[in-house]
């Protein structure tokens, strides 16, 4: 029998496969990471809506501990630095924040499934902002390559230097009403 201590109780639905997600408060601050649900009381009575999360403080401490361990391992520091730089290239060079466009998200937004990555933020004054790119649009192509994931976009932009021009195809292809609004835009990396 396992005993868990110091967990945060939540009424958020925690089902098989969705533990590990963030539990946030109304201000958007991390409260914890969903981890377990209580299906039955100790007396065997079924329960509903009784979930538990690992507190944010514990998560932060663990992440900091993992970072220290990773920095001590040979080769890891350089690899991590390259990944970090690559992951921030999109935002650093063009002022665009991206998110993978899952089937569920595509359906919810009415976008065509399996194509593109969602633009979740555009930095004011950035090359993307100056070109008229807006939050909620989708990047469908980078250069001549169709894109379907953020890591793919990161890889395509990995060698881009400041001052380079990169062509993007952005817009929205909606399922309902056959609404298709696409545009090609060339952005200069800052």
pLDDT digits (tens, 9 = 90+) for 31-83: 989 888 877 777 888 878 788 888 988 888 888 777 777 666 554 444 444 33
CATH number at residue 37: 2.40.10.10
Question: Which string of DSSP letters, residue by residue, matches 110-171?
Answer: TBPTT--EEEEEE-TTSHHHHTT--TT-EEEEETTEE--SHHHHHHHHTTPPTT-EEEEEEE
Mean pLDDT for the chain overall: 81
Structure confidence at residue 130 (pLDDT): 94
Let me know whether 128 and 38 are in one domain: no
CATH number at residue 183: 2.30.42.10
Percentage of the chain beyond pLDDT 70 is 85
Q: What is the pLDDT of residues 165-184, one digit of tens each?
A: 999 999 887 766 556 678 88
């Amino acid at each position: 029998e396992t005993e868990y201590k110091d967990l945060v109780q939540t009424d958020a639905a925690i089902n098989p496969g969705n533990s590990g997600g963030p539990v946030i408060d109304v201000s958007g601050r991390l409260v914890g990471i969903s981890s377990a649900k209580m299906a039955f009381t100790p007396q065997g009575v079924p329960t509903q809506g009784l979930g538990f999360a690992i507190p944010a403080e514990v998560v932060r401490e663990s992440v900091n501990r993992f970072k220290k361990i990773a920095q001590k391992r040979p080769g890891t520091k350089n690899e991590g630095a390259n990944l970090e730089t690559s992951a921030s290239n999109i935002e650093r060079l063009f002022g665009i924040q991206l998110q993978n466009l899952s089937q569920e998200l595509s359906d919810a937004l009415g976008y065509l499934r399996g194509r593109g990555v969602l633009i979740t933020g555009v930095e004011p004054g950035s090359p993307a902002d100056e070109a008229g790119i807006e939050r909620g649009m989708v990047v469908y192509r980078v250069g001549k390559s169709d894109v379907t994931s953020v890591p793919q976009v990161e890889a395509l932009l990995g060698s881009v230097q400041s001052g380079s021009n990169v062509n993007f195809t952005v817009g929205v292809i909606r399922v309902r009403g056959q609404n298709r609004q696409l545009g090609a835009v060339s952005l200069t990396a800052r």
